């Protein structure tokens, strides 16, 4: 069982994270940590939308408060197009072009905010994996994750990307502490997203709040849930990790084997129609 469970890890460790970073990161998203990376990326995006500068822009456009489902779907589709196809694929080049087109009207947003968004996609999911995945990501996987987003950032003209994961983490922690502060636009965005994710029930609301750390809850105006909910969620997630490590098997069918789908596009989509209309 142990040999089967770690077969993908052994394959990853035979690769070069500087040359094969797309392959390694794709394996993480589709096979090794599909649930955890989906949740980690969602937490990363929630955090990146919650600084005052970015939240004011997004709340002002109404993209995350009035067209919440579509905006969430668009963000996910654009991101997973890049991961599944690789950054040099024609569809990925079209996705990057579309992302840059969406960002073009917001040149007054500080350049460091774009770096913060990029860092949230790297640091937040990796730290989630460290804490709650069935195993911690290895050094190849950490390096590959950093390399994937650093290269994506370069193609999006993000300035000031540090040279290593450790430097990016250090920069992220400092920027996060200084700039993730309480603000009403972030609270409005969080309420809209919560209404979409939590249809009913106090417990579900409390569990979602327990996924946030204290700083994110403060920034978005979310009260801390009761400690039994926080402790219970932690125990459930840790028990899940132990169960998967001891009794789980590698995912037989990679995530997205049937292609990318989204609620907002039941009949499929074109990359050019993702994101807000001009």
Q: Is the pLDDT of residue 122 over 90?
A: yes
pLDDT digits (tens, 9 = 90+) for 186-211: 999 999 999 888 765 566 889 999 99
Contact between 120 and 45 under an 8 Å Cβ cutoff? The reply is yes
Give the burial string for 103-115 (b: 16+ CB within 10 Å, else e).
Answer: beeeeebeebbbb
pLDDT digits (tens, 9 = 90+) for 235-246: 999 999 999 999
Of 79-88, 107-116, 195-204, 230-239, the least confident: 195-204
Q: How confident is the model at residue 109 (pLDDT cuts 50, 70, 90)?
A: confident
Lookup: tokens for 132: 């709650």
Question: pLDDT value at position 254?
Answer: 95
What lies within 8 Å, CB to CB, of 235 at 6+ separation is none
Radius of gyration for the chain, computed over Cα atoms and rounded to the nearest angstrom = 19
- Pairwise pLDDT comparison (3 vs 275), residue with the higher score: 275
Mean pLDDT for the stretch of residues 39-53? 96
Name the residue ranges covered by the structural domains of the chain: 16-257
Question: pLDDT value at position 164?
Answer: 98
Q: What percent of the chain is modeled with pLDDT above 90?
A: 86
Q: How confident is the model at residue 250 (pLDDT cuts 50, 70, 90)?
A: confident
Mean pLDDT for the stretch of residues 38-54? 96
Lookup: tokens for 181: 């502060």
Question: pLDDT value at position 262?
Answer: 94
Question: pLDDT value at position 63?
Answer: 84
Q: Kindly report the backbone phi and psi dihedral angles of residue 10, in degrees, each rounded to the nearest multiple of 5, phi listed first.
A: -65, -35
Question: pLDDT value at position 196?
Answer: 84
Question: pLDDT value at position 203?
Answer: 62
- What residue has token string 């069918």? 253
pTM of the predicted model over 0.85: yes
Q: Is the pLDDT of residue 3 over 80?
A: no
């Amino acid at each position: 069982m142990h040999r089967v469970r770690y077969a993908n890890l052994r394959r990853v460790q035979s690769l070069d994270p500087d040359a094969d970073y797309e392959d390694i990161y794709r394996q993480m998203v589709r096979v090794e940590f599909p649930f955890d990376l989906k949740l980690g990326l969602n937490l990363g995006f929630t955090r990146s939308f919650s600084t005052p500068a970015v939240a004011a822009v997004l709340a002002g456009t109404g993209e995350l408060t009035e067209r919440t489902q579509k905006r969430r779907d668009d963000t996910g589709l654009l991101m997973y197009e890049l991961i599944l196809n690789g950054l040099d694929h024609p569809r990925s080049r079209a996705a990057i072009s579309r992302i840059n087109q969406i960002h073009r009207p917001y040149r007054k947003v500080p350049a460091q905010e774009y770096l913060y968004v990029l860092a949230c996609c790297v640091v937040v999911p990796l730290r989630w994996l460290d804490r709650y995945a069935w195993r911690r990501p290895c050094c190849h996987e950490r390096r590959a994750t950093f390399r994937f987003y650093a290269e994506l950032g370069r193609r999006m003209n993000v300035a000031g990307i540090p040279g290593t994961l450790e430097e990016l983490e250090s920069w992220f922690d400092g920027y996060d502490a200084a700039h993730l502060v309480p603000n009403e636009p972030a609270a409005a965005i969080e309420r809209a997203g919560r209404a979409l994710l939590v249809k009913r029930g106090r417990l579900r609301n409390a569990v979602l709040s327990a996924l946030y750390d204290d700083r994110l809850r403060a920034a978005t105006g979310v009260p801390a849930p009761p400690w039994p909910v926080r402790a219970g969620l932690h125990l459930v997630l840790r028990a899940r990790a132990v169960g998967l490590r001891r009794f789980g098997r590698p995912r037989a069918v990679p995530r997205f084997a049937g292609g990318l789908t989204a609620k907002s596009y039941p009949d499929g989509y074109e990359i050019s129609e993702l994101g807000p209309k001009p």
